[in-house]
């Protein structure tokens, strides 16, 4: 039995990459994970991977497009109906639509803000109502070092990820007295489909700037999230835990 047995988590963007690793890591600790994304085929693969790792029945694949407030509210209602509790919320779903500021289209900016920021507001608002009644809860939002340092070609993405930090600190201040913590994990470069788009040459030059000289693995981000969800992080709130091999220090 894992340390978090019988707790219930919602993890967005759980069909691949970092979100998948987070879902699997929490399931390994005994958490019932409502694993949300649009690609139901990929979510089924996450469920199988969890079963193979000895955590059968812990992943609950759930179709959710986080750009839809009504879908978010319906999923939260469905989880409460089925489990009567939500202990952990991990807002991980995110997209990039990179481009230089001067050429950036309105929809490039709006799409990134809606997926990466509005969804965090909608989900946190819905779930916090339940957590406040329970007087307990852990909210973990995935930002990025782009939101801390800025990155050329990512004004939309960096704006959304910096906003997640301000949103999380405000949420932490509002909810601390109700026994709820809210923290941020800010990954650096991590090997996923998101960074596959960069191409080998760009990746190589990025690695020269990283003190540890390599990209991170999704599991290395997941272990930071699992720590913040666990008993060992009970007195930590409003913090940004950077997981980047030393790039941003
Ligand atoms: P990824 O491999 O591209 O996966 C993105 C996940 O988000 C997928 O599961 C995708 O699922 C989901 N998603 C995207 N749009 C969605 C929507 N509208 N509704 C529901 N789910 C949606 O990306 P990743 O690298 O794992 O990134 C995960 C998080 O870490 C993101 O917030 C990202 O900004 C952040 N991050 C990543 C890196 C990195 O280097 N990889 C660095 C810093 C921060 P579906 O397509 O199935 O819906």
Q: Summarize pLDDT for 223-242 with one digit per residue, the tens.
A: 999 999 999 999 999 999 99
Q: Summarize pLDDT for 2-57 with one digit per residue, the tens.
A: 889 999 999 999 999 999 999 999 999 999 999 999 999 999 999 999 999 999 99
Distance CA 248, CA 166 (A): 18
Nearest residue (by CA) to ligand 1, atom 32, is 94
Q: Which residues, judged by CB distance below 6 Å to any ligand atom, belong to the binding site of ligand 1? A: 12-19, 37-39, 42, 64-67, 92-95, 115, 142, 144, 187, 189-190, 192-195
How far is the centre of ligand 1, averaged over its atoms, from the C-alpha of 133 (Å)?
Answer: 30
Q: What is the DSSP letter of 215?
A: P
Q: What is the DSSP letter of 155?
A: H
- Within 13 A of 46's CA, how many CA atoms are on the CB side? 34
- Which residues are identified as catalytic? 157
pTM beyond 0.75: yes
Helix, strand, coil content of the chain in percent (nearest 5):
50, 15, 30
Is the pLDDT confidence value at 75 over 90? yes
State CA 49 to chain mean position distance.
19
pLDDT grade for 1, boundaries at 50, 70 and 90:
low
- Within 13 A of 106's CA, how many CA atoms are on the CB side? 0
Q: How far apart are the first and last CA of the chain?
A: 37
Nearest residue (by CA) to ligand 1, atom 12, is 13
């Amino acid at each position: 039995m894992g340390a978090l047995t019988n707790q219930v988590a919602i993890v967005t963007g759980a069909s691949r990459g970092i979100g998948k690793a987070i879902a699997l890591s929490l399931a390994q600790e005994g958490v019932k994970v409502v694993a949300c994304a649009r690609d139901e085929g990929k979510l089924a693969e996450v469920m199988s991977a969890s079963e193979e790792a000895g955590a059968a029945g812990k992943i609950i694949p759930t179709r959710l497009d986080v750009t839809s407030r009504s879908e978010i509210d319906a999923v939260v209602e469905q989880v409460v109906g089925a489990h009567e509790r939500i202990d952990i919320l991990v807002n991980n779903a995110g997209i990039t639509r990179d481009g230089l500021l001067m050429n950036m289209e309105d929809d490039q900016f709006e799409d990134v803000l809606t997926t990466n920021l509005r969804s965090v507001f909608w989900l946190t608002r819905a779930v916090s109502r339940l957590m406040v009644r329970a007087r307990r809860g852990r909210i973990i939002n995935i930002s990025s070092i782009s939101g801390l340092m800025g990155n050329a070609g990512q004004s939309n993405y960096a704006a959304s990820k910096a906003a997640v930090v301000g949103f999380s600190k405000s949420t932490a201040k509002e909810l601390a007295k109700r026994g709820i913590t809210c923290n941020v994990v800010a990954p650096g470069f991590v090997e996923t489909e998101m960074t596959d788009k960069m191409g080998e040459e760009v990746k190589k030059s990025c690695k020269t700037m990283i003190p540890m000289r390599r990209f991170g693995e999704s599991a290395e981000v997941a272990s930071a999230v699992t720590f913040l969800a666990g008993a060992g992080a009970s007195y930590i709130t409003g913090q940004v835990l950077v997981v980047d091999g030393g790039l941003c220090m």
